[in-house]
Amino acid sequence: MPEFTAVGVYTVSYTISRDSYNDVTGQYTFTIEKGDITGYEIKANDTVKYDGAAKVSATVTVGVPADAKITYTCGTDAFTEVPSFTEVGTYDVSYTVSKEHYNDATGLVSKVYKGANGYALEVLPSGFDNTITMMVGVDNEGKVLGISVVSHTETAGLGAVAAAGTPAGENFRGQFVGASGSVSVTKDGGTMDAITGATITSRAVCAGVNAALECVAQMG
């Protein structure tokens, strides 16, 4: 049997032969998708007081996988190392971990707010059209309290249902309440019902919820 390593779609033809019999031929397609990058952790450093010196904004607490690289962006500025800042302000930094044959891993959590009963996290998953801004509430036991879609540019009547105040929108968001660990749509083997005609948006919302749950789990 043929074996493959690289990402790609492979069409394999085969022939079964036997003396005194007609050959039997067939064909099948085998796909290797990009893998997911795991094994890294990047955490924002604590708030500091201005003293005129540059302050490193984050710490890579678990090493990046071999042969992977991290790029950081803050506004229109790009960095190849963890960016440092000197002036007073709040800096929203995004990062991307890249590796050949793997999907890029992005830091979806942009803001975290701690309360007595848990956390509120702003997450930025990529939807069908553009970035979706979401808020996810997670309690101290690591269960979803609720989600809301703050802004988006998803297709009206399809992906936009995720943010709608309609029964369909409320039912979609409501199914995440009480979830823990990780979530995915039924098409991907999970328990979340995707919005009809908007699987990509539904997957994006799942990605945002997963990022929030993972962030809270890392904070302990």
The reply to whether 213 falls in a domain is: yes
The reply to whether 183 falls in a domain is: yes
Q: Which of 98, 176, 90, 163 is nearest to 132 (CA)?
A: 163
Token pair for residue 24?
Answer: 């039997």
**Cα 48 to Cα 61, 111, 175, 215, distances in angstroms:** 19, 16, 39, 21
Phi first, then psi, for residue 115 (nearest 5°) are -125, 180
> What is the H or E stretch that residue 43 is in?
strand 41-44
The reply to whether 92 falls in a domain is: no
Separation between Cα atoms, residue 101 and residue 99, nearest integer Å: 6
Domain residues for the domain of 112 are: 108-220
Total domains, the chain: 1
Q: Look at the block and give the residue holding tokens 């509430």.
A: 137
The reply to whether 123 falls in a domain is: yes
The pLDDT mean for the chain works out to 88
**Mean pLDDT, range 42-47, rounded to an integer:** 79
**Mean pLDDT, range 176-190, rounded to an integer:** 93
The reply to whether 53 falls in a domain is: no
pLDDT for res 39:
64
The reply to whether 163 falls in a domain is: yes
Across-strand partners of 96? 71, 106
Q: What is the pLDDT of residues 93-127, one digit of tens each?
A: 878 888 888 876 667 787 888 888 899 998 888 88
Token pair for residue 54?
Answer: 């540059």
The reply to whether 201 falls in a domain is: yes
The reply to whether 35 falls in a domain is: no
Q: Is the pTM of the predicted complex or chain greater than 0.75? A: no
Q: Look at the block and give the residue holding tokens 């990529």.
A: 126
pLDDT for res 69:
85
